[in-house]
Amino acid sequence: MSDDDKKKDDEKKNSANVANKLFEARQVLICEAIDQKMAKRVVGELLALAAESDEDITLFINSQGGHVEAGDSIHDVIRFIKPRVKIVGTGWVASAGTHIFLAADKEDRVCLPNTRFLIHQPSGGIGGKVTDIAIQAEQIEIMRKRLARIISEQTGQKFETVMKDIDRDHWMSTEEATEYGILSKVIHSASEL
C-alpha cells in the first residue's frame, strides 16, 4: 500500500470514528455549504436518531448557506421528527443556514460567542428565454415571501419588517440576533445546554 493510499485509508477510518461518536452522542454536524448531498446526509442522520429513540438531538451549524430547498428539507425534518432538536450556531449561520437554525423552538436555539447571523432574500441563477425568466422571478418572489413569513413567525418580528430587512444582506452579531429573536441566548460551554 502506498503512503497516499495509507493516508486516505486513515482519513476514512478517522471520519467513520468521528461519525460514530457523534451518532452515539446524538449530535449532528453541519459545517459546510447547504446542498442536496449534505441535506440527504443530515436528514438521514436525523431520521436514524429519531428511529433510535425520542431523546434530544443536538445539531451544530456553521454554514454560509446555499440551496434553499435543501435547507427546507432539513428545516422540515427537524420539525417533523419526535425528538426535540437543540441547535447550536457557531462561526456563521447564514442564509439557508439561518433557515435551518429557525426550525428549532426559540428556547432551543443558542449559539457560541463568536457567531454571526445573516438573513437575506433568496437569489437564483436566472437565465433562459424571457418567459422562463419571468417564471423564475415569480418563483423567487414566492420563495422570498415564504421565507420572510417563517422568519417572522419564528422571531416575533412583523412580516413587513422582515421583508424590509431581507431586501439586502442583513448581518447580525449575537446581541443583535438575540434582540431580533433569532436565538434565545449565547452559551459558553456544553454545560449550558
Question: Catalytic: 95?
Answer: yes
Q: Residues 63, 120, 123, 170: which is the catalytic one?
A: 120
Q: Which three cell numbers stand for residue 39?
A: 441535506
The three-class DSSP label of residue 184 is coil
Round the CA-based radius of gyration of the chain to a whole number and report it: 18
Q: Residues 63, 67, 73, 95: which is the catalytic one?
A: 95
- Cα–Cα distances (Å) from 172 to 52, 118, 169, 193, in that order, read 36, 6, 10, 22
The DSSP H or E segment spanning 149 is helix 130-155
What is the distance between the alpha carbons of residues 73 and 75, in angstroms, rounded to a whole number? 6
For the stretch 35-73, what's the b/e string if a residue is b when 16 or more beta carbons lie within 10 angstroms of its beta carbon? eeebbebbbebbeebbeeeeeebbbbbbbebbbbebbbb
- Give me the active site residues, please: 95, 120
